[in-house]
């Protein structure tokens, strides 16, 4: 999920809907897509295209062999930072030192591709990668530090072979929404730390 993929052909996609013209013409979509969270058949990848504004989003599927190149959110953290978000991302790099993390959303897309897709007010979407949930305390500290940054930073915690939840929910509520390839489930926070 969140990986940016370059496609050999934007026409080698399937969808229940007809392909909008902008998917084939706009810089942010032309042969570039983002991998979506969805359970699919073998060798078929769920992808989404983004237009030049929030109203333009298009979901589709593509064969695995149509993917030429993959840029992960972790790799995006090393990309060219948009001037509008430079200070915040420099601080994020310091805060997340020693942690496996990546950047997604419009800012991550911009850093990964070099195609400007964010505005000065764009939130920063951060993905934390965990092999398992071990302790809540380090996540609480990280959450407190992130609250001090200049931009809104939305953090999603991805737990290997389990699912993802929002850091804000994880540190402020006893129940969290867990996003998985088969759907979204409301779970008790304590169970996340016991069951993986």
Burial degree of 63 (CB within 10 A; 0-12, 13-18, 19+): middle
Residue 196 has pLDDT above 80, yes or no: no
Q: Can you give the pLDDT at residue 1?
A: 66
* Three-class HEC string of 123-142: CEEEEEEECCCCCHHHHHHH
- Residue 109's φ and ψ, nearest 5 degrees, are -60, -45
Evaluate whether 134 touches 107 at the Cβ level (below 8 Å).
no
Q: Pseudo-torsion of CA 37, 69, 128, 96, nearest 10°? A: -160
Average pLDDT, rounded, for the chain: 90
When pLDDT is averaged across residues 140-150 and rounded to a whole number, the result is 93
pLDDT tens-digit series, residues 72-129:
999 999 999 999 999 999 999 999 999 999 999 999 999 999 999 999 989 999 999 9
Q: Can you give the pLDDT at residue 192?
A: 82
**What's the whole-model pTM score?**
0.88
Kind of pairing between the strands at 44-50 and 32-35: antiparallel
> What are the tokens at 20?
């909008």
């Amino acid at each position: 999920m969140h990986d940016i993929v370059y496609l050999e052909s934007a026409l080698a996609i399937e969808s229940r809907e007809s392909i909008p013209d902008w998917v084939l013409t706009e810089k942010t979509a032309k042969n570039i897509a983002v991998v979506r969270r969805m359970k699919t058949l073998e060798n078929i990848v769920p992808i989404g295209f983004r237009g030049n504004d929030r109203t333009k989003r298009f979901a589709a599927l593509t064969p695995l062999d149509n993917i030429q190149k993959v840029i992960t959110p972790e790799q995006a953290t090393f990309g060219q930072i948009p001037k509008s978000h430079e200070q915040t991302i420099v601080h994020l790099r310091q805060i997340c030192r020693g942690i496996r993390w990546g950047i997604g959303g419009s800012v991550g897309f911009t850093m990964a591709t070099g195609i400007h897709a964010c505005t000065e007010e764009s939130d920063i979407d951060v993905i934390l990668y965990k092999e398992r949930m071990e302790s809540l305390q380090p996540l609480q500290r990280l959450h407190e530090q992130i609250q001090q940054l200049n931009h809104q930073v939305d953090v999603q915690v991805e737990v290997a072979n389990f699912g993802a939840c929002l850091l804000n929910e994880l540190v402020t509520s006893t129940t969290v929404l867990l996003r998985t390839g088969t759907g979204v489930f409301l779970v008790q926070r304590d169970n996340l730390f016991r069951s993986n």
